[in-house]
Structure formats: C-alpha cells, structure tokens
Amino acid sequence: MPTKKKPQVTATPERRRELLGTAAEVFAAQGYNATTVRKIADAAGMLAGSLYYHFDSKESMLDEILSGFLTELWDGYDAVLAAGLGPRETIEALVTESFREIDRHRAAVAIYQKESRHLSAQPRFQYLSDSQQKFEKAWLGTLERGVAAQVFRADLDIRLTYRFVRDTVWVAASWYRPGGQHSPDEIARQYLSMVLDGIAVRT
C-alpha cells in the first residue's frame, strides 16, 4: 500500500474547478498574498484544512489558475498566428482574441497582471517568463511586419508601440465585468478603432 493517495490529480475534476473558480475570484479581489486560505475556504463554504484534500498548497492553486489560463490563451493565439493574415488583420485578431480571453478568465487575467512580475522570478513559475517572451515576439514581430509593409507608422518607437498596444488591451481586465453592456467583441472593435486611428477627429 502506498504511503499516500493523491486525490487531487485523479479525482473528478468538477469540484476542483469549482474551487479554483472561487479561489481565483478571491485572489483577484484581494491579491494573492493578502488572501488567506481561510478566506478561500469561507468563500467556498468549508474550512481551511479541507482545501488540502483537493490541493496540496495555496501556491499550487495559483499555479493551476495561471497555467490553465495561459494554456487556453495560447490555444487561441497560436490559431491566429498560424492563419497567415496580414499585419493589421493579425493585430485585429489578436486583440479580439485577447478580449474574449478576458471575458472568460477575467479573474485569472487580473491575478496575472498583479502578480506575474514577481512570480516569474520563482522557478516554479518560469513558464510566466516564457509566455511573456513568446508574447512579445508575436506582437513585436507583427508590428514590425506592419511597419515594413507600410500599414503601421514608421515614426514611432516600436517597443513603445508594443507596450502601448499590449497594455491598452490587458489592463481592461481590471475594470471589465462579464455581462456588462458591451460584449468582448464590441470592446475589441472600439479599442482597435482607437489604437489604429486615434481618438482625434481627422482633419
């Protein structure tokens, strides 16, 4: 007989995902470090120790939330990048896809934004750095293609442009609430309109 069972990997994943959902909400609302396992247990209607039947640490919950989100994100991104679109259409598709991910994983995105910087130093979360590097390569590469093809302005610092576009998209997770008056696609449309054409009236 083995010394320990591992119900957290073999058991039915229904309850796990339910718990991960509430954990993600609390993490997003209070911040990871400010969130105690007792608060998560409260929100889930159980006691702190009971969480450890499903997960083996608080950190592994965070890990699972973030890696799950990134996996789904890259499913979408890779599909877009493999489609062989032009630079402008690629940017449009990436932005739209991003807002859809924010719609589906807004808690995870909020956590990612707040914590990823100092988490990526830890070896366990190195996939955050990897993802961010891949992310930068995809966006920066598309922008450079666009400048070369003369569909994007050449007079701007391209790295500044990259950060500009990236930030404008992802910070939306901090105020976005699913079920609002704007659908993700509508928000993407307006954001793209602003980023591409500006907010000033054309003269």
Partner DNA sequence: TAATCTACCAAACACTTGTTAGGGAAGGGT
Partner DNA sequence: ACCCTTCCCTAACAAGTGTTTGGTAGATTA
**Where on the chain is the footprint of a copy of itself (CB under 8 A)?**
29-31, 33-34, 88, 114-115, 117-118, 150-153, 156-157, 160-161, 163-165, 167-168, 171-172, 174-175, 182, 187, 190-191, 193-202
Distances in whole angstroms, Cα of residue 62 to Cα of each of 112, 134, 174: 10, 21, 18
Q: How many residues bind DNA (CB under 7 A)?
A: 25
Q: Choose the contact partner of 105 out of a copy of itself, DNA, none; CB within 5 to 8 A by kind.
A: none
- C-beta of 40 vs 108, nearer to DNA: 40
Asked if 187 contacts 168 with a C-beta cutoff of 8 angstroms, the reply is no
Which residue from 12, 82, 83, 18 is spatially nearest to 45, judged by alpha carbons? Answer: 18
Instruction: Determine whether 12 is exposed, middle or buried from the number of CB atoms within 10 Å of its CB (0-12, 13-18, 19+).
Output: exposed
Q: In the complex, what is the shortest distance from the CB of residue 108 to DNA, in angstroms, rounded to a whole number?
A: 18
Q: In the complex, what is the shortest distance from the CB of residue 100 to a copy of itself, in angstroms, rounded to a whole number?
A: 17
Residue with tokens 């956590």: 111
Q: Choose the contact partner of 88 out of a copy of itself, DNA, none; CB within 5 to 8 A by kind.
A: a copy of itself
Q: Choose the contact partner of 165 out of a copy of itself, DNA, none; CB within 5 to 8 A by kind.
A: a copy of itself
Q: What is the DSSP string of 32-79?
A: TTT--HHHHHHHHTS-GGGHHHH-S-HHHHHHHHHHHHHHHHHHHHHH
Among 30, 50, 71, 190, binds DNA (CB under 7 A): 50
Q: Among the candidate windows 8-16, 70-78, 131-139, 159-167, which touches DNA by CB under 7 A? A: 8-16
Among 42, 59, 89, 136, binds DNA (CB under 7 A): 59
Among 10, 150, 181, 203, binds DNA (CB under 7 A): 10
Q: Choose the contact partner of 121 out of a copy of itself, DNA, none; CB within 5 to 8 A by kind.
A: none
Q: What count of other Cβ atoms lies within 10 Å of the Cβ of residue 174? A: 13
Q: At what angle do helices 126-148 and 58-81 cross, to 10 degrees?
A: 20
Token duo for residue 102: 């924010």
Residue 7 touches DNA, criterion: CB under 7 A: yes
Which residue from 140, 115, 90, 147 is spatially nearest to 30, judged by alpha carbons? Answer: 115
- The binding site for DNA (CB under 7 A) comprises 5, 7, 10-12, 15, 35-38, 41, 45-54, 56-59
